[in-house]
Structure 1
Amino acid sequence: MRKIGPVALQKAQGQEIGLSAWCRVDQARIDAFAEVSGDRQFIHVDPDRAASSVFGGIVAHGMLSLSIMSGMAATTLPEVEGQKAAINFGLETLRFRTPVRPGDNIRARFVLSELTRRGRGDLLARFAVKLEIEGEKRPALTADWLILYVF
């Protein structure tokens, strides 16, 4: 994992600082998420019923896409030198834009939109994130995601 100093991170505001690898979302992953989350709505797990839905077929859970994005952040965003922890501080905005379908490849693009100092010298980073679908013009989701770097 690459590292970045706090000063360099401050200077990176407004820039893309991470682009994840592609990740395939297959039906097995969708089914596993349905089992773990308890969300077995037919549009995710029943191809026959989903075919007659507004989506015209199976779509992945939006929350599955969001969860995959979290893993992408862990492997893509740089570690800030001296940090004790990087904590998910929540989402300011989240919009599901385009359904992810079984077999789609997705990746996350992270832009550091704002960085602020907090109390003990911690840093609160706001990332504008787009979860892209390979071959699609519109992203699967967009979010303003806050990560707290604790020192």
Structure 2
Amino acid sequence: MPTIIKKDQIDDYIGFEAEPTAWHQVTQSQINNFADCTLDHQFIHVDEEKAKQTPFGGTIAHGFLTLSMLSHFAESFSIVIDGVYMGINSGFDKVRFLAPVKVNSNIRAHAKVTHIEETKPNQFRIKTEVSVEIEGQDTPALIAEWIGIQMVK
């Protein structure tokens, strides 16, 4: 569940670190579906036999699939300003893919709010630093600076 805050609490939430999200297992079916949606059928993602011959020893998730999972994870780590009626994904200031997500790996997100500003009356820009952890690994799959806009009544 997101953390709901009042407008007068915004300054208190800069630096807020959410609890890590629940784990999500990345399956071959999910990877194949993503490949179909994006038309990216590179063998390292979808050809299990050929991918076994690579240094990864099997298929890996697309980096953009891992990035796309932030929308799912955000349901847990987001802060939401009370009275919000619409949220918009505004993009990223930074995205880095650091480690591949092997098929059947478990991943989860860690998030820290780094900036909140009212850009127009009742419109807030929120920047969140996010990393995606791979269970059992020290290096995260990715790190990103994600920007969202919230419109508040």
Q: Which residue of 1 aligns with 2:73?
A: 72
Q: Residue type of the partner of 2:31?
A: I
1:21 aligns with 2:8: no
Q: For structure 1, which segment, 138-147 or 51-60, has the greater mean C-alpha deviation from structure 2 after superposition?
A: 51-60
Runs of 4+ in structure 1 over 2 Å off: 6-10, 51-57
Equivalent-residue separation in structure 2 for 1:8 and 1:17 (angstroms):
16
Equivalent-residue separation in structure 1 for 2:136 and 2:63 (angstroms):
19
> Residues 18 and 111 of structure 1 are in contact (CA less than 8 Å); yes or no, is this contact kept in structure 2?
no
> Residues 18 and 77 of structure 1 are in contact (CA less than 8 Å); yes or no, is this contact kept in structure 2?
no
Question: Residue by residue, what CA displacement relative to the aligned partner does 1:19-43 show, whole Å, maximum 9, x if unpaired?
Answer: 2111110111111111121110000
Q: Residue type of the partner of 1:134?
A: E
Q: Residue type of the partner of 1:113?
A: T
Q: Which residue of 1 aligns with 2:111?
A: 110
Segments of structure 2 that go 5 or more residues without pairing to the other structure are: none
> How far 1:14 moved relative to its partner?
1.4
1:11 aligns with 2:15: no
Equivalent-residue separation in structure 1 for 2:119 and 2:128 (angstroms):
16
Equivalent-residue separation in structure 1 for 2:43 and 2:31 (angstroms):
12
> How far 1:78 moved relative to its partner?
3.5
> Residues 123 and 149 of structure 2 are in contact (CA less than 8 Å); yes or no, is this contact kept in structure 1?
yes
> How far 1:18 moved relative to its partner?
4.5
Q: Which residue of 2 aligns with 1:129?
A: 130
TM-score by length of 1: 0.92
Aligned length in residues: 151
> Residues 30 and 64 of structure 1 are in contact (CA less than 8 Å); yes or no, is this contact kept in structure 2?
yes
> Residues 58 and 103 of structure 2 are in contact (CA less than 8 Å); yes or no, is this contact kept in structure 1?
no
Q: Residue type of the partner of 1:53?
A: T
